[in-house]
Structure 1
């Protein structure tokens, strides 16, 4: 069991953000273990095809996989949380390359507390000043192959999740937020408890706690490993099965015969909050076309909308959610 300890002032410094760097690094581990991510089969297929035509890309993945392996901890310096709401891969990668050799060494060696690190990682810890340029090149190449072609779709899903979590926070406070982040989390007094085998003890200590939804996190909240690192948590994004439209399945096909294929696709994506722009990115439809479909769905009682700040979010109504459920889409 792991825990993240808070002091009174820390509770106001919980924030949400998205990070293409985190998704890039996490996806290295996911690609090595596709059985854990059945909803991402279109992504695995697309990446395999890209790597088949890019031998250098396959080598970059293999190198990164020496540091980011299934079932093992990851060095914290590879995944610093972004300072703002949306990370920029170039700025995040520059932060990685600026890591001090002492931090690189300590972060790599800390991973050996859970599982043995690879020979490549051990050699990198011995000469940390030499490893950063090679890691930077590999991350940049893997991002170009595995994440960049899909990032607009992923970003829209992640932003929709953050909208949902923000509403939870306003309705039920930190307890509701933390107890629904992942199946293994709960809130106890002044600490976030994570049911896992790692026995980490982290303190926020005035440094803030960035929380990031991730396409490539499954079942657990994942935290930074060393207490000296900036605390951060990554949790599984909601509705990851809609990343590639659920409308192509059996239930979606049935709805398509009733609503029309395009409207059914928009409807199946309303399992989580999304803006008109988000839905346009994920479906490839124009904003105007998405708006027309949303109007029709609202008039039919299948969707609702709510304003949060400057954004208007749409999601399935209670009737709509039941319709998605009976069709196996929710």
Structure 2
């Protein structure tokens, strides 16, 4: 057991982020022992066939996990994160190859689950406060007074000293992992530590999603019906464009129509706007359209 100690300034510096680099490394770890990750077997069967992009990295897996930096912004691109690995060109090139072959083809689906988690946690923070956020991140964590305790946290304790902390959901990480902060130096700025935790509703990740029925498609148009079906969990215009193949501009236009009809509601988090089906929209989609289990 270990702990992280928070000051008043640290509570104000709580951030949320998604790290495609961490997800790539955690995904690689998942393929090592498929029996322990039965939930991901639909993806693992494909990932095992990737070949050199995966095999070359396996002997370096532990070192790669230690190299992953805390994410600097809420929705970073993997190229931005790899740029931080200065002096590690072999690692960076290998990870980029694995990302392109094993993870990027499935990233829209993965990112949708991660973004839905971010929207849920930020809403929980606004409505119920930080205690509720930490109380529901993972069963191993406990929040009391000014500190977070749990397995995987620094055994000697760690004070944040006003720099705050980043929370990052992961679909491939079954437990909490702390990515240490990076001090500032020549050519780079410092970053706060990051606590990676298992995302909500991972059980829905590889489910086949039924397309909206013909009746709904005739009512709304097939593109709008398809977009509505993908907003049962909060997602962004970019995420919907990646999932459907529509241009971001077309997605924005369709979402505006759905919003004006009361079928989706927007929710802003920093620079991103998340759209979620309203009660009316969920009713049109029918049974089984609610978010997956926590």
TM-score category, normalised to shorter length: 0.7 to 0.9
1:233 aligns with 2:195: yes
CA distance in 1, matches of 2:148, 2:38: 29
2:240 is matched with: 279
8 Å Cα contact 2:259/2:265 also seen in 1: no
Per-residue displacement from partner, 1:56-110 (whole Å, max 9, x unpaired)? 3243232233546xxxxx42xx111132233343342232334xxxxxxxxxxxx
1:11 is matched with: 11
1:63 is matched with: 59
From 224, 235, 238, the counterpart of 2:179:
224
1:87 aligns with 2:42: no
Give the number of the structure whose residues are more often helix, by fraction.
1
1:151 is matched with: 107
Deviation at 1:326, TM superposition (A): 8.4
TM-score normalised over the length of structure 1: 0.67
CA distance in 1, matches of 2:93, 2:194: 24
Deviation at 1:172, TM superposition (A): 1.3
Per-residue displacement from partner, 1:254-297 (whole Å, max 9, x unpaired)? x6476458777645533421134322322335554786589569
CA distance in 1, matches of 2:224, 2:9: 46
CA distance in 1, matches of 2:167, 2:131: 15
Q: Structure 2 unaligned runs (5+)? A: 184-190
From 265, 269, 275, the counterpart of 1:305:
265
Deviation at 1:204, TM superposition (A): 1.6
Residue 168 to residue 63, structure 1, CA distance change in 2 (3 Å): same
Residue 206 to residue 292, structure 1, CA distance change in 2 (3 Å): closer
1:169 aligns with 2:153: no
TM-score normalised over the length of structure 2: 0.74
Q: Structure 1 unaligned runs (5+)? A: 69-73, 99-131
CA distance in 2, matches of 1:41, 1:258: 34
8 Å Cα contact 1:256/1:263 also seen in 2: no
8 Å Cα contact 1:245/1:268 also seen in 2: no
CA distance in 2, matches of 1:134, 1:79: 14
8 Å Cα contact 1:268/1:324 also seen in 2: no
Q: Name the SS for the 1:65 alignment partner.
A: helix
Per-residue displacement from partner, 1:206-241 (whole Å, max 9, x unpaired)? 2321111222122x3322379999521012223334
Per-residue displacement from partner, 1:9-42 (whole Å, max 9, x unpaired)? 2111111122221112111211213344444344
1:43 is matched with: 43
Deviation at 1:8, TM superposition (A): 1.8
Question: Cα RMSD (Å) of the superposition?
Answer: 3.8
Residue 83 to residue 275, structure 1, CA distance change in 2 (3 Å): closer
Per-residue displacement from partner, 1:114-159 (whole Å, max 9, x unpaired)? xxxxxxxxxxxxxxxxxx4543343233223222333344334433
CA distance in 2, matches of 1:166, 1:257: 35
Equivalent pairs counted in the alignment come to 277
Q: How does 1:20-39 map to 2 (within 5 A)?
A: 20-39=20-39
